[in-house]
Amino acid sequence: MKISVVGTGYVGLVTGACFSDAGHEVMCIDNNPKKIEMLHRGEMPIYEPGLEEIVKRNVEAGRLKFSTSVKEGTEFAEVIFIAVGTPPGPGGEANMTYVEQVGREVAENMTSYRLLVEKSTVPAKTSEHLKRTVLKYLRADTDFDVASNPEFLREGTAIPDATNPDRVVVGVESKRAGDLLEEIYKPILAKGGGKFLRMNVTSAELTKHASNSFLAMKISFINAVSRICELAGADVEQVAQGMGLDPRIGPRFLKAGVGYGGSCFPKDVDAFVRLADALGNEFTLLKEVQKINKTQREHVMKKIKQELWVVQDKRIAIFGLAFKPETDDVREAPSLYFVPELQAMKAKLRAWDPIAEGKFKEIHPDLETVPDLYECAKDADLVLILTEWDAVKNIDLAKLKSVMACPVIVDGRNTFDPATVRAAGFTYHSIGRA
């Protein structure tokens, strides 16, 4: 089938590339000419493991092409996925300008039936606005559908998630739209074995909000437990293991740490809270999830202050700027909280991240970064771990100790076994391990 995907970010480009790999003919569109020029040169505008190979393979096979024109995309395919950014505005609400713009351009250029599919994470009820937009700007006398197909892929493992989904959720208002989407996903599900779920549009939108909010809740739950563990003298890793073996609970997303970040959980929980408020039904549980996530960072900051006593002029080495490993994404990353806070206290910072350094420096160009972990830790009074990259997990502790002014680690990701780090001569503070 022919498919257009508008937006070449983490969701759009991965989706487009994986659809083409499943045998469809795909046009990926972005209004940023720089991104499209990069893609034409075979360069990726984002870092995602395995993406470059898939893009290259499908461009060579003639199944994947790129354009800056929504008009061209509308003429090319009957089904148009919208995967443009919906960044939070100044008040926290999602900025829907780009989604609206795509809806309008598709409407102005379609001459026969088109199916517009929301793929970006959008607030519930977006489909209704999108439908009104299309009706307003539609020039031709033709039918159309708006559907929701929320994305569940994770950055860093986006390719296996997209090619091997647990489920594909589609919210549709007509059989025609549902059948088109089923056809698109048939080759992917035939290989991966996930379930295809057809429901109404608002239910599909809410499934996304509820799934991400539930996972965020799981993380905040274990983070809240971690603080009790510290006070009571327990080990949160052991508690999580004991809980996770119950299949009703499950072991995943029970890793205590410095709090969740990224472009999805903070925004989605916030959107769900706002939706509930707007509907007159306050979602107090999720407000608590947000509060725990915020105070978890402050809790780690407290550990740093307690250890250093005077923060001013202390050298702090930050290991990891990305919101999680295997991505260059720093949106809502814990590093965005710690760097300015520590700078305000006049600490001397030096940071290391194998991929996210560039994106972080677009926001904080003043942060000193180095490409080597040991160089980063040279003469440091404290190492702060914010992302559990493999290079950090596999660090040579003896060498690390030898370059530091003072062997202290504050580990926001429980990267190490406390006994091993202490045996190596470090003062070690981690999460929920008394």
The answer to whether 267 touches 121, Cβ cutoff 8 Å, is yes
Q: Give 145 or 161: the residue with its C-beta nearer to ligand UGA.
A: 161
Secondary structure of 38-59 as H, E, C letters = HHHCCCCCCCCCCHHHHHHHHH
CA nearest neighbour of 87 among 5, 7, 203 = 7
Residue 433 phi, psi dihedral angles, 5° rounding: -130, 95
What are the C-alpha distances in Å from 295 to residues 227, 288, 291, 337, 377? 11, 10, 6, 12, 27
Nearest residue (CB) to ligand UGA, 22 versus 215: 215
Nearer to ligand UGA by Cβ, of 56 and 125: the residue is 125
**Rule CB under 6 A: is residue 254 a binding residue for ligand UGA?**
yes
- Beta-carbon contacts of 298 under 8 Å, excluding residues fewer than 6 positions away, are none
The answer to whether 165 contacts ligand UGA (rule: CB under 6 A) is no
CA dihedral 244, 249, 252, 258 (to 10 degrees): -90
Query: With binding defined as CB under 6 A, does residue 212 bind ligand UGA?
Result: yes
Query: Closest separation between CB of residue 256 and ligand UGA, Å?
Result: 7
> Per-residue string for binding with ligand UGA, 171-210, x by CB under 6 A?
----------------------------------------
Contacts (Cβ under 8 Å, ≥6 apart) of 196 = 167, 168, 170, 182, 185, 189
List the interface residues with ligand UGA, window 363-422 (CB under 6 A). Answer: none
| Of 215, 269, 380, 382, the one binding ligand UGA by CB under 6 A | 215
Q: Is 18 a catalytic residue?
A: no
Q: How far apart, in whole angstroms, are the C-alpha atoms of residue 64 and residue 198? A: 27
Give the pairing of strands 195-199 and 315-319.
unpaired
Supply the minimum distance, in Å, between the C-beta of residue 225 and ligand UGA: 12
Q: Does 286 engage in binding with ligand UGA (CB under 6 A)?
A: no
Q: Is 324 in the site for ligand UGA (CB under 6 A)?
A: yes
Binding region for ligand UGA (CB under 6 A) out of 39-47, 135-143, 262-270, 344-352? 262-270
Q: Which is nearer to ligand UGA, 105 or 332 (CB)?
A: 332
Q: Choose, by CB under 6 A, the member of 47, 81, 221, 260 that binds ligand UGA.
A: 260
How many residues lie near ligand UGA (CB under 6 A)? 20
Q: Does 154 bind ligand UGA (CB under 6 A)?
A: yes
The window from 64-72, 178-186, 191-199, 254-262 that contacts ligand UGA (CB under 6 A) reads 254-262
Q: Which is nearer to ligand UGA, 145 or 237 (CB)?
A: 237
- For residue 212, what are its two tokens? 């991400």
User: Is 265 a binder of ligand UGA (CB under 6 A)?
Assistant: yes
- Decide if 370 contacts 376 (C-beta within 8 A): yes
Burial class of residue 91 (count of CB atoms within 10 Å of its CB; 0-12, 13-18, 19+): exposed
Considering the complex, state which of residue 154 and residue 361 has its C-beta at the smaller distance from ligand UGA: 154
Site residues (vs ligand UGA, CB under 6 A): 121, 151-155, 212, 215, 219, 253-255, 257, 260-262, 264-265, 323-324
As annotated, the active-site residues are 264
